Amino acid sequence: MPGHLREALLGLCLTALCGCAKPRLADVLDSENVVATIELVDTTIAPAKADGRSWDGMEHLPSGIAGMLAEALTLEDPYHAVVDVLGAPLHQQIEKPDPKGTAWIVRNGRLTEARTLRVGDQIDTCTPRWNRTARWEHVRLDSGVRLRVELIDADVAFDDPMGTFELDARTLATIIESGRVYQVQVSEQTQKQVLFAGVSASRE
């Protein structure tokens, strides 16, 4: 092969290699100035409490639905599998929760920038949308930052705790790179009471 062709080919290969080696945003959070807008868009809540009872009634979630839900959480695309289960007619018959809560940006262990989550008219729902109430701008995203969310089912007398989950900075960086509302599975942090958090994040 002529020398100039060999050099051109080598250049192409190096360019391709450099392209592949572009660092993930999660790996440069402490070396680059990454500033982000973050929004908790929605959450997906289990149709029953961890003990199988419905959020507001006395009935138990039918065992068939509970089994389908448990299996859906293990599938390759768990979010869409869970959404399918939540749409089943049998599930529609049990009392749903009235979610509300608080969310924070955690910075080096300190809770900051609290946001109150309310669904307004969306009572009795397992899929609350937070209507842009849980939004943070100008968040300096380094490895010491997390998003923390505490949710409860509002009741007349004694609210039912739903759970607390946190998303670390690497997860938030992955959400930025996805370029969409990213459904993060949080069920293992909440005794499978809160299943997914839909989060949008973009670099400013």
3-state class (DSSP) for residue 52: coil
Nearer Cβ to Ca ion, position 183 or 193? 193
Residue 67 beta carbon to Ca ion: minimum distance, rounded to whole angstroms: 23
Q: How many Å apart are CA 157 and CA 160, to the nearest integer? A: 10
Residue 153 beta carbon to Ca ion: minimum distance, rounded to whole angstroms: 4
Given the rule CB under 5 A, which residues bind Ca ion?
55-56, 98, 153, 155, 160
Nearer Cβ to Ca ion, position 142 or 160? 160
Q: How many Å apart are CA 21 and CA 92, to the nearest integer? A: 48
Nearer Cβ to Ca ion, position 98 or 150? 98
Q: How many Å apart are CA 179 and CA 199, to the nearest integer? A: 11
Residue 146 beta carbon to Ca ion: minimum distance, rounded to whole angstroms: 28
Specify whether the CB–CB gap between 136 and 172 falls below 8 A: no
Is the torsion defined by CA of 153, 185, 145, 33 positive or negative? negative
Residue 55 beta carbon to Ca ion: minimum distance, rounded to whole angstroms: 5
Nearer Cβ to Ca ion, position 39 or 56? 56
